[in-house]
Structure 1
Amino acid sequence: MKRKNNRKKAITLKDKKILIIGILLVGLLMIGVFITLMVQPPVNHFTIGNGKNLKGIDVSNHQGKIDWQALPHDKINYVFIKATEGTTYNDPFFKGNWQNASEYNFLKGAYHFFTVGTSGADQAKAFIAQVPKEKNVLTPVIDLELIGENREEIITEIRVFVNKIEEHYEVKPIFYINKNTFHTYVEGVFNDYMIWYADYADEPALDESIWTFWQYTESGLIEGIKGPVDFNIFRGNKQDLESIIIQ
């Protein structure tokens, strides 16, 4: 009887050792996978192509005071800067960011956050008052993120805003959109305008033939900026990018 009991104990200890070794191996495998993902992140479009898909950022008051001298030129080909929102809000960091972008030789452009339910003409007036008419800057941007109740009225106000901007700066503005605002306001209505598409999936839902810029994350980290910042790619090379600079 004693011998039989001892055999049971021996088998139990052996099984425990095998289980512990198995758990350790699985743990080591998971650590290896984690390290691999950290060192070699998933490939995005901006890593593909010979000189194509140029990277850039967009900034606003959310980034606070930026150390422009520390921003790396080899990682940033352009910067979009928030200027205004609605009819009354001027981004408090716009003037400083606008001046510093030029001082540190970054290609820059300004954008307006469009609010629904307010006058497109008044919003255009606010943007024009804040953003100087300059050469060698990127085309202005209308940022469409909000959905309102009356689609036709909102489209009318968007059209008024766009026409005012086009008349003043003598270029067609870029439409910044997400999936909802694209299908609600832009698709089939504003077909002759460049699209800057916000989509944080591994691949943008819109076909590449539709968008010119793709904002692929809102959680980017880069030298010179404390905290997260939006990262974008431009679908083209430097010569293509230069073609949308105001001359």
Structure 2
Amino acid sequence: MPVHRSGTTGPSRLTAAGTLLAVLSLLTLPGAANAADSADTPPRGSAHLGMGVIAHDGQGPLPRETRAVQTEGVDVSSHQGNVDWPALWTSGVKWAYVKATEGTYYKNPYFTQQYDGSFDIGMIRGSYHFATPDTASGTAQADYFVDNGGGWSPDGKTLPGALDMEWNPYGDACYGKSPSAMVGWIDDFLNRYRERTGRDAVIYTATSWWTECTDDYAGFGSTNPLWIPRYNTSPGTLPAGWAIHTMWQYTSSGPDVGDHDRFNGAYDRVVALANG
């Protein structure tokens, strides 16, 4: 009768060892690391204002109260779902921006509730487009934006559309473009938006991204209002071309809705921007 000694490798152990070796060999194949990286990449359409601010620029204390008059606002996307606009209005929020589109492939499924809901409660509201300069031209993305919620109405309650220019959540920070090519892309978007709506779009961007990806281009400051994200006690140094900011996204952890903003002026200045 055969004797089985402990420690003898049987068929099941050989199978397990072979499986382990196969897995390890696959991990060393070319492209395996890229596959692991792609698993951490967010799905297309999930981008939103300021999603890269903390990772690239850090986060400091909330701003202190100042003598300067500022008007509270929020920005929302599909991440917020159906927004409790009455609660925000009661808390003092008077204006809002809603994500409408991204690239030429994504429309915010909550846009109607967010855009109409903010208007119905009494807020002045606008919409924004998350730019992906590596997927389509600036002209094509401006058309897609205007056709899907990014238009403007002279009703005194609609802010001009905002162009969200920030770190690429899906790949290279500058979308694979040189500074001159990036400036050209932005210019194409802004020109087309102006042709379609008669308004100059707001530019949302961080100073560090703008410096890296446009070589701190100064040519838009005289025409396009600046919306700057910086989660600290002040907006900090502005990108080249802008002497003042119009809006400031100062936190991503505010009450009711995380992304809170301050308009650089009293409520009548928000109305003035809406009226053009």
Offset of 1:145 from its aligned partner? 0.6
CA RMSD of aligned residues (A): 2.0
Task: Determine if contact 1:73/1:106 at 8 Å carries over to the other structure.
Answer: no
2:66 paired residue number: 48
Offset of 1:195 from its aligned partner? 0.6
2:269 matches 1:240? yes
2:226 paired residue number: 195
Q: 2:259 aligns with which of 227, 230, 238?
A: 230
Q: 1:214 aligns with which of 248, 262, 267?
A: 248
2:139 matches 1:121? yes
2:19 paired residue number: none
* Ranges in structure 2 where 5+ consecutive residues have no aligned partner: 1-60, 168-173
Give runs of ≥4 in structure 1 deviating > 6 Å: none
Distance 1:43 1:59 in 2: 20
Offset of 1:74 from its aligned partner? 4.6
Distance 1:128 1:90 in 2: 12
Amino acid at match of 2:63: N
Name the stretch that deviates more: 165-174 or 143-152: 143-152
Amino acid at match of 1:130: N
The secondary structure found in structure 1 opposite 2:115 is helix
Distance 2:76 2:183 in 1: 26
Task: Determine if contact 2:246/2:263 at 8 Å carries over to the other structure.
Answer: yes
Distance 1:111 1:61 in 2: 12
TM-score normalized by the length of structure 1: 0.74
1:14 paired residue number: none
Task: Determine if contact 1:60/1:91 at 8 Å carries over to the other structure.
Answer: yes
Q: Rg larger in 1 or in 2?
A: 1
**1:201-242 deviations in Å (ceiling 9; x for gaps):** 2222225943111111111122xx5xxx21111111122222
2:236 paired residue number: 205
1:15-94 pair list within 5 angstroms: 44-45=63-64, 47-49=65-67, 52-94=69-111
Task: Determine if contact 1:139/1:246 at 8 Å carries over to the other structure.
Answer: no
Offset of 1:110 from its aligned partner? 0.6
Name the stretch that deviates more: 138-147 or 199-208: 199-208
Offset of 1:43 from its aligned partner? 6.8
Distance 1:54 1:73 in 2: 14
1:174 paired residue number: 202
The secondary structure found in structure 2 opposite 1:205 is coil
* Ranges in structure 1 where 5+ consecutive residues have no aligned partner: 1-41
The secondary structure found in structure 2 opposite 1:142 is strand
The secondary structure found in structure 1 opposite 2:273 is coil
Amino acid at match of 1:239: D
Task: Determine if contact 1:55/1:78 at 8 Å carries over to the other structure.
Answer: yes
Distance 2:67 2:91 in 1: 16
More helix by share: 1
1:18 paired residue number: none
The secondary structure found in structure 1 opposite 2:228 is strand
Distance 1:67 1:204 in 2: 28
Distance 1:85 1:201 in 2: 27
Name the stretch that deviates more: 231-240 or 181-190: 181-190
Offset of 1:176 from its aligned partner? 0.3
1:10 paired residue number: none
Distance 1:123 1:43 in 2: 34
1:107 paired residue number: 124
